[in-house]
Amino acid sequence: MDFLSPDFAPAYPEIFLLVMVCVVMLADLFAGEKHRYLAFFLALFALAGAAVLTYSTFSTEVSYTFSGMFVDDALSDTLKLLMYLTVATVLIYSRVYISKRGLLRGEFFSLALFATLGMMVMVSASHLLTLYLGLELLSLALYAMVALQRDSSVATEAAMKFFVLGALASGFLLYGMSMIYGATGTLHTPELTAVIRSGVMDHAVLVIGLVFVVAGISFKMSAVPFHMWAPDVYEGAPTAVTLFIGSAPKLAAFGFVMRLLVEGLGEMAADWQGMLALLAIASMAVGNIVAIAQSNIKRMLAYSTISHMGFVLLGFLAINENGYSAAMFYVIAYVLMTVAAFGIIMLLSREGFEADAISDFKGLNQRNSWVALIMMVVMLSMAGIPPMIGFYAKLSVLQAALEAGYLWLVISAVVLSLIGAFYYLRIIKFMYFDTPEITQPIVFKPDVRLLITVNGLAVVMLGIFPQMLMGLSLFAIQHSM
């Protein structure tokens, strides 16, 4: 058997990032207490380098490598570029927060980069095992990040819960994959499509496999009824980690669904369409209704995430390029809003004080009207009020779902988003209508101030001019199918 060296070019960004993770770990080992920021800058450099590498291979062509287990196409490149941007933003937002809580160590950054690597592998997988590999790399890094604050019992509990439930979901997923393999005899996603289309397989086994796979996916997307971990983890983890979990991994989850359900099991669309519709409605209902009862804003945003994931699933129902690109647009919009929201929560917290109760937002307008304005924009965007980006995201997915003939689903989604509007408005109410308990004004470091401004403006401007992002999503989807 002769050994052919695979073509490494499509995987350059991953390889580079892996090397850089090791560099970060080693450098931090030898850097003294004074030079903790070294890891931070190295991590940003790693992301920038990976971005350059990804951008240089950005093309409309699809290239496979590692015996067809790894694919580099427009979808993976677009998602990766967005991930770098998101992770870099998250790291910059987190810097002050983690340094005040003794988390500014190499571990935080190397785990974050490992998680990023996992996400990259996920969105570039064209083989079920690669997909699983990426997912586990991401998950393990996240478990560790949640538990990073060792002396916090809440964080440890959250990590434990996350790990146990996550391992269970991975088990589901793997079991489902094995059934798919048993039914079709292949694990390569492109081949799966061909086999299913030819009809030479055991349909019953395949459907059971599909059910397990969808269950695994919904866990990762935190869709109801597999959402239990999300509120606890969001609340328990240090806010910097919550921000990380809530943002970039959702992009990866979208890529995961695209690779697994659309590329691999696209021929089974008739079967998974109904499942996703059910998951979507359940997520929107539970997410929006339970969020009203929350007094902790991190927990509230966890439920809001659950409902947003329901909306993302709506986009998949159309089973065409427009629908998928609508879902992708929604995910990107969601990440943009979430990063800003958690970013502000983190910026409001001080040493020994987490600004995670909703009442901590009381009178924010009087303490710092600019931040209050940005938070208001983000909340309105999440509620789907134009001209913020969240509205156009909702518009596209609703249109996709209606195109698929799910009128009842669209009407319920609309009614549920009305219920959702209430708790977003509540935040605005606290910020604008109430008087602050602490009158001390809030000041930020200039770089963070600039970043949060850009982030808030993006929520409005990309809403007023959604063409670019919508076009990007459509481009990515069209050139990878």
Q: Please report, as ranges, the residues that interact with other proteins according to CB under 8 A.
A: 322, 325, 365, 369, 380, 385-387, 391-392, 395-396, 398-399, 402-403, 407, 410-411, 414-415, 417-418, 421-422, 425-426, 428-429, 432-433, 465-467, 470-471, 474
Write down how long the chain is. 481
Answer yes or no: are the C-beta atoms of 264 and 136 closer than 8 Å. Answer: no
Cα–Cα distance for residue pair 300/291, rounded to 1 Å = 5
Helix, strand, coil percentages, rounded to 5, for the chain: 80, 5, 20
Name which of 132 and 424 has its Cβ closer to other proteins.
424
For residue 387, the minimal CB distance to other proteins (Å) is 5
Name which of 244 and 391 has its Cβ closer to other proteins.
391
For residue 279, the minimal CB distance to other proteins (Å) is 21
- Amino acid identity of residue 181, one-letter, is Y
Q: Which helix (H) or strand (E) holds 473?
A: helix 467-478
Show Cβ contacts of residue 3 under 8 Å, excluding neighbours closer than 6 positions: none
Name which of 48 and 464 has its Cβ closer to other proteins.
464
For residue 275, the minimal CB distance to other proteins (Å) is 24
Name which of 176 and 323 has its Cβ closer to other proteins.
323
Per DSSP, the chain holds a count of helices (H) and strands (E) of: 20, 2
For residue 446, the minimal CB distance to other proteins (Å) is 18
Show Cβ contacts of residue 98 under 8 Å, excluding neighbours closer than 6 positions: 104, 108, 238, 240
Instruction: Collapse the DSSP code of 188 into the 3-class scheme (helix H, G, I; strand E, B; otherwise coil) and give the result.
Output: strand
Name which of 181 and 444 has its Cβ closer to other proteins.
444
Name which of 38 and 481 has its Cβ closer to other proteins.
481
For residue 418, the minimal CB distance to other proteins (Å) is 5
For residue 98, the minimal CB distance to other proteins (Å) is 33
Answer yes or no: are the C-beta atoms of 411 and 333 closer than 8 Å. Answer: no
For residue 112, the minimal CB distance to other proteins (Å) is 33
Answer yes or no: are the C-beta atoms of 386 and 396 closer than 8 Å. Answer: no
Name which of 84 and 391 has its Cβ closer to other proteins.
391
Show Cβ contacts of residue 373 under 8 Å, excluding neighbours closer than 6 positions: 365, 456
Name which of 149 and 365 has its Cβ closer to other proteins.
365
Cα–Cα distance for residue pair 204/199, rounded to 1 Å = 12
Cα–Cα distance for residue pair 31/25, rounded to 1 Å = 10
For residue 334, the minimal CB distance to other proteins (Å) is 18
Name which of 202 and 321 has its Cβ closer to other proteins.
321
Instruction: Give the CA distances from residue 30 to residues 77, 95, 104, 105, in Å, rounded to whole numbers and listed in that order.
Output: 34, 20, 15, 12
Q: Measured on CA atoms in the order 189, 190, 193, 196, is the torsion positive or negative? A: negative
Name which of 157 and 403 has its Cβ closer to other proteins.
403
Buried b / exposed e across 453-463, counting CB within 10 Å, b at 16+? eebbebbbebb
Answer yes or no: are the C-beta atoms of 472 and 78 closer than 8 Å. Answer: yes
For residue 436, the minimal CB distance to other proteins (Å) is 13
Cα–Cα distance for residue pair 21/346, rounded to 1 Å = 25
Name which of 69 and 285 has its Cβ closer to other proteins.
285
Cα–Cα distance for residue pair 138/133, rounded to 1 Å = 9
For residue 473, the minimal CB distance to other proteins (Å) is 9
Instruction: Collapse the DSSP code of 221 into the 3-class scheme (helix H, G, I; strand E, B; otherwise coil) and give the result.
Output: helix
In 66-217, DSSP assigns E strands to: 70-72
| CB atoms closer than 10 angstroms to residue 407 | 10
For residue 478, the minimal CB distance to other proteins (Å) is 11
